[in-house]
Amino acid sequence: MRIIVHGSELAAATAAAAMASVGHRVDWYPHPDTVWTQLAAADWLSGEPFVAEQLTASRDSGALRIHDAPTALEEPLEADVLWLALAPDQRDAAERFVDDVAGAQSSPLVVVNNSTFPVGQTEALEALLRHASQVAVVLPDMLEEGRAWQVFTRPSRWLLGCEDDWAADQVRELLRAFNRRAEVFQRMPRRAAELTKLAINGMLATRISYMNEVAGLADSLGVDVEHVRQGMGADTRIGYEYLYPGIGFGGPNFSRDLMRLADVQHQTGRESQLLEQVLDINEGKKETLFRKLWNHFHGKLEGRTVAIWGAAFKPGTTRIDHAPVLTLLRALWAQGVHVRLHDPAALPALRKELGEHPLLSLHEDDPYAACEGADALMLVTEWKCYWNPDWRRLAETLGERLILDGRNIYDPVYVAARGLVYRGIGRRADP
């Protein structure tokens, strides 16, 4: 098939790379605000496993062409599929591009809306098409940062919003190479698919915030929340997914999907007290480690030095969008705390976001260098390189031997037995 991809999101890059890798002829038009020369230098793209390498390989083979045209198509092109993977605030760009493509060809066309737009936007895009053989469908972006290639090429499911049988068959053919192990398409009406994507992330966020509330309650009652988590997860009605207490979620897609769902509720005249609570709880949890540090030192923090391991909003990504570390840093600096921070991938993004700060030093190579001269260590992002540290070295390096585990990845009893003071999220070192 001949495919046109439009957008500068991770979803656009992954779709262009994956579809070109299986024989489709792909023309990718990044959004004018972030052209290819900027994308090629972006840490979040170069750090995404397999995607950048496959983009290079597909360009070298001729299966993929990347265009930096400012707005419209560089040349008339009879395409089979137009794949839109744009940011939520780029609806106008989507409509302009669909209008350009539809006006340039008379052959059948399927517009695949892979963007997180308001519910009903796919129907609005279809209204711009010129012929009855041109149809718009929705295929919500289900990618995960750090696992985009794996999720796209070995999907567990695709939500296909489509009322037209011919268009559904075209989408199945488009993605046939990634649909061989088992049938992964769940077909439904377009508006249902658009709402389902938002509802899924709303449910996941609710589970996270609820578990964080339970962890706070466990702290107050002297209960180890790990017992509670295991008991809840063993109930088949609940399960273990997204049931891990922590210091809040972040990320560009998850956070804005929640805001989009809240907007949908507001536009229909239905205010969502639940979503508001979920978002409020999440923002409050981002200061959890700061409050534990405050309590440990009885509020006397000025002049202290703290080491932080992890800045990215999740392991496997270079992004810090809405990351808990941003809230944590501001709280620490407000009290005059010096911060020594290590992250294996996200420091360029942190420098770009925060610039230079007199109370911040960044360490790219050695996580233990960040601990030198520190009173305590805060674990913020659960990168694998942090899971099994040299506890003897930490005990010798940290002035107060304090470990603040924001992701509950350490065994409290084991850490305490190594001579350190452990504080987790609802975890306890005693039985």
**Band of the pLDDT at 69, cuts 50, 70, 90?**
low
Beta strand extents in 55-193 (DSSP E only) = 64-66, 81-84, 109-113, 134-138, 158-161, 185-188
Would you say residue 425 has pLDDT above 60? yes
DSSP state of 118: P
Would you say residue 72 has pLDDT above 60? no
Tell whether the torsion through CA atoms of 91, 93, 99 and 102 is positive or negative.
Answer: negative
> Which tens digit of pLDDT belongs to each residue from 247-284?
999 887 777 777 777 677 666 777 677 888 888 898 99
Mean pLDDT of 10-22: 97
CB contact at 8 A, 136 and 160: no
The secondary structure of 159-205, three-state, reads EEECCCHHHHHHHHHHCHHHCCCCCCEEEECHHHHHHHHHHHHHHHH
Q: Which amino acid is at 369?
A: A
| pLDDT confidence of residue 402 | 97
Mean pLDDT of 393-404: 97
CB contact at 8 A, 325 and 333: no
pTM here is 0.86
> Which tens digit of pLDDT belongs to each residue from 38-53?
999 988 898 899 999 9
| pLDDT confidence of residue 340 | 98
Rounded to whole angstroms, the Cα distance separating 52 from 37 reads 13
> Which tens digit of pLDDT belongs to each residue from 208-244?
999 999 999 999 999 999 999 999 999 999 999 999 9
| pLDDT confidence of residue 243 | 92
Cα distances (angstroms) measured from residue 378 to each of 261, 293, 367, 406, 410: 33, 9, 12, 7, 12
364 closest CA partner among 405, 426, 309, 401: 309
163 closest CA partner among 205, 135, 142: 135
> Which tens digit of pLDDT belongs to each residue from 182-198?
789 999 999 999 999 98
